[in-house]
Chains A and B, each alone.
Chain A
């Protein structure tokens, strides 16, 4: 079967590119798009994949990660699809060399530059869904900047646990205008969104929404006066493989009960071990 370059037909790519431009023009605002049927089950990154494929040129270098790793099942399948339908496009694990990075979860530890595009797989685009089930009402709330109810999400956390333990879906204000759901990004990576050099694109295939954070855009997490935003606590921990501190670590528990930590970003860890210099994000640490 002969596919068009990068699987999608040109008209689809045109539509998605237009929607991406619209999303960049209105930072944080959810743009509806007609999500196509993809050879992936919904919930496995169909939205982000459509964005990646629509933007792909022969000269691009693509990296796909899941939980920071390049070699888990999800990225491998996606890379296989790209290899088959977009011949000539280089696939890489090197963050610095990639021009498009599709990620299911994390923003890489290595700082992304002006020409790089980060495409995120987003399951839940609507930050207010938890408080308001009706789509019609949430749209109205966005239109009127009626965002006070988003604080309830954080309130519940603080009430129950005394601190914020949510991993993802932390509500953020983009460009002082739109409330955005930061899924799938963990708290640790949220500060990276603020005034970044690169562009972030969020694709939700099941929910049929695209939204974006353009470069040099203000992104502020919601917080109470007396309980400011805090990332996960990675102090006093280091990677068992490369020895790095102040990185997002995965916790591994051995059969004998021993706990140790490993860098979540596999490419970063590898570079450190090889002695390669890696530029880090500036505004990262806030825990």
Chain B
């Protein structure tokens, strides 16, 4: 088992308060229950979709998995190692070697004041590479893999369309051949034709790299295309989980049914 997630909870509110939640708000301090007792697992090479409307806690969950933020409760085990109890340096090491993250907006994942080649090379440098030629050549290969040509490696990210910027993020995320790729609404800020290109790219990566993927999206069509299994989040809780075609054709929970019916 690649990833085991148990009981993750995240509350934005007064840390001293002994919370009493009505719905998602604490009636004592007004705090918000962003995630409540999330548990699931992911095997090598599997793709898991996490779906829900905006505000359901999807992005928060992904950032907790990527160790960008800390949960209030719960544990995350990667290859059997308990991640949250590690010190900062170990967390960073594991992140660089075993995980890749693609943020919803490329502005969050890329540095706009350096070339796309440097952006991709950043992950390799964090992984300890200190040979310039190797870094440069590997960045060229990775950018080629996401269909960005060699004569553009020196260009700044803002000179590319948003779809291409997302591709740069993807190239960076897979640079160190991680076991786990996290995608936060990778196509949300893109128009329809560009969405298809990105989804194609992700599918290609799935096939060629045998990488496990957690894909967050509010768009069930994206999930349908890429994920075998799916978790449905509502207000920070898992309301339904199962195989993608089960959820799409035979949704059990009222909320899932609403989500499914809205894509038609």
Contact = CB atoms under 8 A, between A and B. Distances in A.
Contacts of A158: 132, 136
Interface string B198-210: 0000000000000
Contacts of A148: 125-126, 128
Contact of B130 (A130, A144, A152, A225): A225
B78 to A, nearest CB: 20
Contact of A149 (B125, B130, B135): B125
Interface in B80-133: 88-89, 92, 111, 113-115, 117-118, 121-122, 125-126, 128, 130-133
B230 interface: no
Contacts of A159: 115, 117-118, 136, 153-154
Interface residues of A, number: 18
B132 A160 contact: no
Contacts of B153: 159
Contact of B132 (A131, A149, A227): A227
B89 A155 contact: no
A281 B190 CA distance: 59
Interface in A116-149: 130-131, 140, 144, 146, 148-149
A251 interface: no
B88 A155 contact: no
Contacts of B122: 149, 152
A258 interface: no
A59 interface: no
Nearest to B123: A148
Interface residues of B, number: 22
A149 B208 CA distance: 29
A152 B114 contact: yes
Given A131-B111, A146-B92, A160 B154 contact: yes
A224 interface: yes
Given A131-B111, A148-B125, A149-B125, A225 B118 contact: no
A58 B121 CA distance: 54
Most chain-A Cβ atoms within 10 A of its Cβ — which of B89, B92, B122? B122
A247 to B, nearest CB: 30
Interface in B211-258: none
Contact of B125 (A130, A140, A151, A227): A151
B92 to A, nearest CB: 7
Contacts of A225: 130-132
B118 A155 contact: yes
B154 A226 contact: no
A224 B132 contact: yes
A125 to B, nearest CB: 19
A148 B176 CA distance: 15
Interface string B28-49: 0000000000000000000000
A130 B130 CA distance: 19
Contact of A144 (B89, B114, B117, B118): B89
Contacts of B131: 224-226
Contacts of A140: 88
Contact of B135 (A131, A146, A155): A155
A156 interface: yes
A225 B125 CA distance: 12
Nearest to B92: A146
Contacts of A146: 88-89, 92
A233 to B, nearest CB: 19
A221 to B, nearest CB: 13
A152 B136 CA distance: 11
A226 B154 CA distance: 20
A160 B154 CA distance: 7
A160 B136 CA distance: 11
24 contacts: A130-B113, A140-B88, A146-B89, A148-B125, A149-B122, A151-B125, A152-B111, A152-B114, A152-B121, A155-B125, A156-B115, A158-B132, A159-B118, A159-B136, A159-B153, A159-B154, A160-B154, A224-B131, A225-B130, A225-B132, A226-B131, A226-B132, A226-B133, A227-B132
**Which 5 A-B residue pairs are closest in the complex by CB-CB distance?**
A224-B132, A225-B131, A148-B126, A148-B125, A227-B132
Interface of B: 88-89, 92, 111, 113-115, 117-118, 121-122, 125-126, 128, 130-133, 135-136, 153-154
Given A224-B130, A227-B132, 9 more contacts: A144-B89, A144-B92, A146-B92, A152-B114, A155-B135, A156-B114, A159-B118, A225-B131, A226-B132
